[in-house]
Structure formats: C-alpha cells, structure tokens
Amino acid sequence: MYLVLIVITIILCVLLGLIVLIQNPKGGGLASNFSGSSQLMGVQKTGDFLEKGTWVLAISIMVLSLIINVSVKGGAQKSEDPQQMELLKKASKPSAAPATAPLNVPATTPAPAQNTPKK
C-alpha cells in the first residue's frame, strides 16, 4: 500500500510540474500556441482548465502526503516482549570498558635517544 501511494504521488508531482510549465502568467505559453484547442474551448477556458488542474493536483499531493505519513508505522514503539526490552536496555547502556589505544601506537614510549658526539 505504501509503495502504491508513493508511486501515485510521484506521478502527480510530474503532472503538476508539466501543467505549471505549460502555463504562462500573461496568457501566452503553450496554451495560446494551439490554435485548434483555443478555438474549441477558447483561450480563457484553457487557462481556467490549467488553473483548476494545478489546484486539484496540488491539493491531492498534500492529501496523499498526509495519508502516507499516517499510514507509515515509524518511530520507537513500546514493546511487550521482555527479550526485546532486555536487548534495548543492553544496547542503550554505555559500555564500561576502558578506552583502548589505537593499534599503531606502541604501548610503551621508547627511551629518548642519546646524543653521542661523532668522532
């Protein structure tokens, strides 16, 4: 169900992007270039159709986002299983082990080198 809602949301987002790109705020754009459709529905009706389509797609994306958020079970939930509770307690406790030195550092420091005069 979750995957279906995500796919539908992505398709609606692509359609919304295409409708927004078709629109031109001054009445031009692709809607005015189609002479057949402008004679059929009129330029004003084409603009109204694109505007209503934009609103419908935007509202449906918002509603789908809320549905996806509600339908997904996430976050920490209290468990009734004692074994899981014990594992969670062990994982959340800080370890009491002392910090170890990095592997490439020797455990003891070498003695300082003696400066012997060269002959």
**Residue 114 maps to a domain:** no
- Tell me if 38 is assigned to some domain: yes
Domain that holds residue 24: 18-71
Q: What is the pLDDT of residues 27-57, one digit of tens each?
A: 555 655 554 444 445 556 677 888 899 999 9
- Read off the DSSP letter of residue 104: T
| 94 inside domain | no
Q: List the alpha helices (DSSP H) in the chain.
A: 2-22, 30-33, 35-41, 43-71, 82-92
Domain count for the chain, please give it.
Answer: 1
pTM for this model (two decimals): 0.48
* pLDDT over 70 (residue 103): no
Instruction: Please state, for a pLDDT cut of 70, what percent of the chain lies above it.
Output: 52
Does 116 map to a domain?
no
Assigned domain for 43 exists: yes
Confidence of residue 1 (pLDDT cuts 50, 70, 90): confident
Torsion angle of C-alpha atoms 20, 21, 25, 31, degrees rounded to 10 = -100
In 3D space, the residue among 67, 72, 23 whose CA is nearest the CA of residue 48 turns out to be: 23
